[in-house]
Structure formats: structure tokens, C-alpha cells
Amino acid sequence: MHIDIDIGRQRLLLLDGKQTLMAFSISTAKNGPGEKQGSEQTPRGWHVIRAKIGSGQPLNCVFAGRRPTGEIYSPALRQQQPQRDWILTRILWLSGVEKGRNRLGDVDTMRRYIYIHGCPDEDKMGMPGSHGCIKMRNQDVIRLFDAVPYGTRVYIHE
């Protein structure tokens, strides 16, 4: 089983061999694909899920630094903090496995804090809009989170 993320189609598939188990519309980086630290781009290549964070947390739970803040996201909260990068509900933290492409040095996916995570329901899916992460609807990220184990391979491509 592995996750296939198609940046061009803004689509995430959970595959078992060639069989599609789940398919979701997503949002990757508004700055496009790229691996450099500070680029706010979505890294390409093979990754693994390094950590699963948020098990048992409520829908719309807000995370900061991979820890629940105690807040529950709402449009009113967003109005109070319009510049905040909302990471909600669950986090699948990615780690690159291709040395020099997405692992180590200034291209290290894990050190860039690249996640698959939930986002506000009003955020658009099917079009780039993140700061480098892969954003999903909250209900969708819960389904994916519950279906994949730690160490699941993730392939990100254009």
C-alpha cells in the first residue's frame, strides 16, 4: 500500500498495488513543486510517513508545532488571525527518502515540516494554495489517517 500525490491533478490516491482504495481532491503549494528549504513549495519524490499526529483529537482541532493548541477552528477564529497557516484535525508528517533530492541538507522534507494535514472547510481543494504541505478536507484526512500505518510510502509527482 502507498499514497500517490499528483500535483498537476491536485489528487491524492491511496493504492494497494494498482487498486485505488481511496481518492481525494487536495491542495498543494501555491508556489508549485520544489524541494528547497524556505521555498514554500511541495517536495517531489519518494517519502514515508514519519509520524502520525492527532489520533483521537476532535474535528477542527488546531495544531501549532505539531501540538494541539486547545482551540477548535471556526471562521470567527480565522477572522481574528487572518495570516495564520491553519493545520487542523490530523497530521501525517513526511520524511524524504531520496538523499540529495528530498532528504538531508537544504532539501530535507522532514526538516521543512511538510505534512499531509486537515484545513478549514472553506479552503479550496483541487487547486494549489498551501505553503508547501498537502492540505485535505478534515473528514478526508481522518479517513486517510485511520487507513495508513506509520512508515507508509508516499510518492509525490507532477
Q: Which three cell numbers stand for residue 18?
A: 494498482
Phi, psi (degrees; rounded to nearest 5) at 75: -55, -35
- Give the domain ranges of the chain: 2-157
**What's the pLDDT score for residue 69?**
98
Q: Which three cell numbers stand for residue 43?
A: 517536495
**What's the pLDDT score for residue 127?**
98
CATH 3.40.50.920, applies to 2-157: no
For the stretch 58-92, pLDDT in tens is: 999 999 999 999 999 999 999 999 999 999 999 99
For the stretch 8-46, pLDDT in tens is: 999 999 999 999 999 999 999 999 999 999 999 999 999
**Considering just the CA atoms, what is the radius of gyration of the chain in Å?**
14
Enumerate the β-bridge partners of residue 67. Answer: 64
Q: Are 103 and 95 in contact (CB under 8 A)?
A: yes
Provide the whole-model pTM. 0.97
Longest dimension (CA), the chain: 45
